[in-house]
Structure 1
């Protein structure tokens, strides 16, 4: 349906437009696991206060007379956005509720939201599971905003469980560690000397991975067409942030490096177990990155009133090869962290992600959002997995005095057999994996991820390994010089 332009509001962002096409329709699902039953949670009034002041939560996407998608304000009937499923009669075990919960989540992961209403839903699941006394599942179309935007909604709506008068606090989105002057100088010189070659090689490789070079079919990549329409299973594993920080501190890397190394090691162990030949096959992770120059989250009101355009989809990506067990002995798991550290640093310092952002904007401007959607779809499909991470609150959250025990998110509509999302909350790092049902053994995969975490944590605190790691870092710095 077309509308005259004067009836409409702002244009949908380029990323938002490409996320709403027949070939690419993406959703974000956020899960709040409550510590107490939620039968008396005043959901209508809470959603009214949380969402209805945000323009994109009260608008639909329509085409103007030139075919450009724009946001159009509509009347919102909250009852149409709240869904309370009915499983079966009372008296069954929590394990049975878990099965019904898993089936229900798999179902809503596959469903699209009607474009005739604002593109969000809240699923109120009052049945207890092993992880929660009740669960709220928020489903947002990705056109509304990215993880940073939606975390702003959380920050604006929820309170601290221990003291509602205090604001929630979050880890800094930028590294706060400052290296010594000499180390910082050497890193800058190394970056300056290596940037031209690194820029060309990294950007060129990204173009090849998006257009011509496709990952091998492996136990984590089925390679089937339209994999995004196949049933999905969700699995979770949680790691102690204190232990992750120990790995970070002992090895002199970032938290992202540490968790990436753990994930890559666990994935390769799983692949080798399922098919020994896959230990040497090519697998690539598509890592999503925030392009905003911000240190902290902002409240929704601040995002809109600053005029800086902090709300929306301001993300890019870069490719990271999953290290092969053929290249790294299974007895040397810390090399997976080292490989992740070197690769991620090289991507960031090459400025290739910035040029990728410019390339996507140019493609949208010259060829339109449909061509951009096909390009992004192809980029995702040719890779083996996607990784997206968000920094969550440090303190326990509560909504209307209902404390929240667990918090995680996932993505739907990604044309891959495996999607990994990561969020920190209350001293734990929650890793959620959406896997193609019937193709990936999610229980065995979780087991290998847990094993990888335990092994890397143990190896990182061994004195002899720390000494070897420090010697390697010094040698690597000399080589760069």
Structure 2
């Protein structure tokens, strides 16, 4: 049989067509310097077996986006790309084994320990960057399904669009979930007076300067919630979470003003204050900051997964703001609502700038100058030099089902963050789920969880009694 160069050229062209360049954000989130994974935990009303989940993954999850059937490769120019491959679903499904005959409380503890274990493990680079862990032991709900997905595939906004595409309404599994009709319009687009413009420019310079310093040399104080340890992202973590009725948050908001995000930030401020107070590490002289993540696509509201792919806005489009944590002397008696009003004032000022719009252009410039590893180093230092990070998602408000099984609740964590403390916030079916991950051998997770509950309860009581 004669050798055909045209066939080689055709095969090479086909291979190149299957290689889709990774975005700068995605490249820097899958390096030896920083590798972030999203763990999305679905709590079901009953136990789901691996056969049902395999069919669901094969028929719903994988077809929803090409990234779920792609591996990371490089093209002829050495640029990291997504390469389409055949997926063997069974290689991605893991069924852990716990001790039999335990109580729901013990199973719940085993699940948290298991989440801590898999959070510290890297995903295999030889297959698409995701895993499904089917936990068949009933906790306080039923069983659980854990989606572990590389942040390089997409951010929370991208992945939540997958939930809207593949989950269904609990009362009618033939219907998709309804996309929320909301958008986040930053202050930079509201007031267009000259004075306001100069104020925004001033805030932009301040925010950008602080971000650059945190990404290089300026470090927060060490404290009871920040060890400052190198390699903290590889240490064991402890996970705690609590559910808050959205209606109660709206009651607080109606008394204090601001946004629901301001109320949640106020609760975070107060729980940090309480924990620092309990551990005797309270001081007004400490430098403490949150790295608050924003998704730029939320400015235009939620889009379906089809709209995102057609508009080429799938992936990672995240900006961040360095937000100071108010430090108050332990001797002072503080009104719990002070932390909410403080959060409102700080966030109003921080968002009143053009900084979030500059993130993507700056990342592209930094990628050209220093390459993906340079961007990864900058991102790593931004996390490591701040005290904690906060990221949030808005989920469906209606009851939902997965693979024909009713869902009780959901929450998520971001694994691999080089911090002793991280917060994730998600709204699901009328509830807000506030989850913390802490450095296990440094922060007292039980005490911090108690402070989290006390902070919310005190703020709610203070708001309800305010005239």
Asked if these proteins are the same fold (TM beyond 0.5), I'd say yes
2:120 corresponds in structure 1 to 110
2:259 corresponds in structure 1 to 254
Q: 1:75 aligns with which of 80, 83, 86?
A: 86
Alpha-carbon deviation of 1:263?
A: 0.8
1:211 corresponds in structure 2 to 216
1:169 corresponds in structure 2 to 178
The answer to whether residue 243 in structure 2 is matched with residue 238 in structure 1 is yes
SS in 2 for 1:20: coil
TM-score (norm 1): 0.89
Deviations 1:320-344 (A, max 9, x none): 0011123994422222112211221
Contact 2:184 2:298 in 1 (8 A): no
Pick closer, same or farther for the CA change 1:85–1:326 going to 2, 3 Å: same
1:32 corresponds in structure 2 to 42
Contact 1:170 1:296 in 2 (8 A): no
Alpha-carbon deviation of 1:175?
A: 5.0
Distance 1:35 1:119 in 2: 28
SS in 2 for 1:268: helix
SS in 2 for 1:42: helix
Q: 1:101 aligns with which of 111, 114, 118?
A: 111
Q: 1:300 aligns with which of 300, 305, 309?
A: 305
Contact 1:347 1:353 in 2 (8 A): no
1:22 corresponds in structure 2 to 32
Deviations 1:241-274 (A, max 9, x none): 1010111122221000010011111111101211
Contact 2:129 2:149 in 1 (8 A): yes
Distance 1:425 1:197 in 2: 37
Pick closer, same or farther for the CA change 1:328–1:428 going to 2, 3 Å: farther
Alpha-carbon deviation of 1:353?
A: 2.2
Q: 1:317 aligns with which of 310, 316, 320?
A: 320
After superposition, residues 27-66 of structure 1 pair within 5 angstroms as 27-39=37-49, 42-53=52-63, 54-66=65-77
The answer to whether residue 96 in structure 2 is matched with residue 85 in structure 1 is yes
1:391 corresponds in structure 2 to 394
Q: Unaligned 5+ residue runs, structure 1?
A: 179-183, 465-481
Pick closer, same or farther for the CA change 1:173–1:443 going to 2, 3 Å: farther
Distance 1:84 1:12 in 2: 31
Distance 1:185 1:135 in 2: 43
Pick closer, same or farther for the CA change 1:319–1:206 going to 2, 3 Å: same
Alpha-carbon deviation of 1:176?
A: 8.8
Distance 2:196 2:422 in 1: 31
Distance 1:221 1:92 in 2: 35
Contact 1:287 1:319 in 2 (8 A): yes
After superposition, residues 310-459 of structure 1 pair within 5 angstroms as 310-326=313-329, 329-459=332-462
1:474 corresponds in structure 2 to none
TM-score (norm 2): 0.92
The answer to whether residue 141 in structure 2 is matched with residue 120 in structure 1 is no
